[in-house]
Amino acid sequence: MSQFDVLCIGNAIVDIIARCDEAFLVDNSIIKGAMNLIDAERAELLYSRMGPAIEASGGSAGNTAAGIASFGSRSAYFGKVADDQLGRIFSHDIRAQGVHFETRPLNGTPPTARSMIFVTPDGERSMNTYLGACVELGPEDVEADVVANSKVTYFEGYLWDPPLAKDAIRLCAAIGHKHGREMSMTLSDPFCVDRYRDEFLELMRSGTIDIVFANADEAKSLYQTDNFEHAVSQLRKDCKLTVVTRSEHGSVVVRGDERHDIDAIDIEEVVDTTGAGDLYAAGFLHGYANGQPLDVCGKLGSLAAGLVIQQIGPRPQLSLKDAARDAGFI
């Protein structure tokens, strides 16, 4: 029996969240809706221009791990924080959600990663990420027994930004596949896809990845096309199982000749889109690891994503298990 349903691996980040108007993004050359990578100097500059903020543990795959645990599944996480106050906040929050998290924190500098997230009046989030201690995640952080005992290992495309994490991922893939497990990734961000297109395609075409998550922009970026259906048809060829989210238009799940078009849930007000994709993946993987049909997996994804965008912050403040029960899934 597997010890974990899903192992998630990613950049361990504390989010610093504030509202801003559209002009702020333009004035500060922040690409709207994207993950903008920044260095320590620009982090200082942007923070000095940022309004009063709140802090919440984040990190794409960390949010997914937390969401999976909130649904009641067993999840684990690998990610590198520093041994500092933000690192202790990150570690507390993910463990308090019930996620196995034992990656050794970095002693000394750089500090724990943070992402300054600016939320515009339309609810869209624009992220500015200083990677900090994440650059130290490497193969020595792979807990082989956790990989071997997780039904699915899921990681962020963002892990191609730090220098050593990709080696950890390849090690995990070798261990996981040796034990008959599945490997999954999210393409993370259209600009991230642009940075690592060939490597991401190689991961899929070599069979290193069994399940790929993307949003429409990322899927189109991967194949450098404006045609969504063309991108989906390419993904169908390149990966065993493909899940593409389309914001308010729901999602598409494709496996061989099987295709499911899933609706988004009704939203009262989009407060903050941070974590939408991460929580969709959480819902989907919770269902998948528990043997649910693909359309149900997609609906669980829609539920979790729909809930997280109606609150501030990237992790659900209410129990997703309760939400799934209320929605009739249990």
CA dihedral 311, 56, 119, 301 (to 10 degrees): -50
Query: In this complex, which beta carbon is closest to its own copies, that of residue 126 or of residue 234?
Result: 126
Query: In this complex, which beta carbon is closest to its own copies, that of residue 67 or of residue 176?
Result: 67
Least separation in angstroms between residue 24's CB and its own copies is: 13
Whether 127 and 34 have beta carbons less than 8 Å apart is answered as yes
Query: In this complex, which beta carbon is closest to its own copies, that of residue 28 or of residue 292?
Result: 28
CA dihedral 321, 324, 325, 328 (to 10 degrees): -170
Least separation in angstroms between residue 20's CB and its own copies is: 11
Query: In this complex, which beta carbon is closest to its own copies, that of residue 65 or of residue 147?
Result: 65
3-state secondary structure of 53: coil
3-state secondary structure of 262: strand
Least separation in angstroms between residue 51's CB and its own copies is: 5
Q: CB-based contacts of 61: which residues, under 8 Å, 6+ apart?
A: 8, 9, 10, 11, 77, 79, 154, 155, 156, 186, 278
Query: In this complex, which beta carbon is closest to its own copies, that of residue 93 or of residue 238?
Result: 93
Residue 107 carries which DSSP code? S
Binding positions for its own copies, rule: CB under 8 A: 16, 18-19, 47, 50-57, 66, 84-86, 89, 92-94, 96-97, 111-112, 312-313, 315, 317
Least separation in angstroms between residue 39's CB and its own copies is: 18
Least separation in angstroms between residue 96's CB and its own copies is: 5
